[in-house]
Amino acid sequence: AQSVTQLGSHVSVSEGALVLLRCNYSSSVPPYLFWYVQYPNQGLQLLLKYTSAATLVKGINGFEAEFKKSETSFHLTKPSAHMSDAAEYFCAVSVGTGGFKTIFGAGTRLFVKA
Amino acid sequence: KAGVTQTPRYLIKTRGQQVTLSCSPISGHRSVSWYQQTPGQGLQFLFEYFSETQRNKGNFPGRFSGRQFSNSRSEMNVSTLELGDSALYLCASSLESVGNTDTQYFGPGTRLTVL
């Protein structure tokens, strides 16, 4: 069965520092992987997605993620954190064919200190 | 282009009642998925509809049901509400879902509180 594990329910970084949010997946077939961001009282917004093309995926707001099959990882990074990056981030894997069944990780709340 | 809209945004019900939530997808989108978000369980998939047919279903009891209309608008219904049904219910739409790579666009959610 497919699953997603996000390491660290809370991550705190200083403004300007590197952001690294960890995600490991389990999938018996080549996965489609996603990172979403959720701001308070809002829905989810797609940051980026991996669909078996390039292993390094660039997303919005300066985020990127690298798919590493050998490590079953899809960590999200941003070189320099901004105060506006404070939010909850979800890693997700899409399973099945002919329709969506997205499995989300538990989420990582990112805090950015001034 | 207007985004995904969900109504109502907030709802308070009592145990045993039933509730219907509505989702209007982005114009032209044919797939609508529903998710439940709670602090304890996180984001959990409820079901997905495409062209008025339920294509995928999560592990929720039969009290949770949904449907999709010919204009792609979708409703979900929860009968015999329990306290544990208190959650943010999110709807997401996408054009198609061939290969599960289509981008899902999420609505702001409906916050349901069961007293």
Chain B neighbours among A 46-75 (CB < 8 Å)? Answer: 46, 49, 51
For residue B22, give how far its alpha carbon lies from the nearest alpha carbon of chain A (Å). 15
- CB atoms B42 and A105 under 8 Å: yes
Chain B hits for A99, CB-CB cut-off 8 Å, are 31, 48, 50, 55-56, 97, 100
Per-residue pLDDT band for B98 (boundaries 50, 70, 90) equals low
Mean pLDDT across the stretch B59-72?
96
A3 interfaces chain B, CB cutoff of 8 Å: no
Largest CA distance in chain A: 46
> Whole-number mean pLDDT of chain A?
91
Q: Which amino acid is at B5?
A: T
For an interface test with A, the pick among B101, B105, B111 (most A C-beta atoms closer than 10 Å) comes out as: B101
A43 interfaces chain B, CB cutoff of 8 Å: yes
Residue of B nearest to A107 (CA): B42
Mean pLDDT across the stretch A69-98?
91
Is residue A71 packed enough to be buried (19+ CB in 10 Å), middle (13-18) or exposed (0-12)?
A: exposed
- CB atoms B42 and A43 under 8 Å: no
Give residue-wise pLDDT tens across range B20-64: 999 999 999 999 999 999 988 899 999 999 989 998 888 999 999
* From A9-23, A25-39, B83-97, the region with the lowest mean pLDDT: A25-39
For an interface test with A, the pick among B34, B100, B101 (most A C-beta atoms closer than 10 Å) comes out as: B100
- CB atoms A107 and B43 under 8 Å: yes
pLDDT at B99: 55
Beta strands in B5-115 (DSSP E): 5-7, 10-13, 19-24, 31-38, 42-50, 53-57, 64-68, 74-78, 87-94, 105-106, 110-114
Per-residue pLDDT band for A100 (boundaries 50, 70, 90) equals low
pLDDT at B83: 97
Mean pLDDT across the stretch A21-49?
89
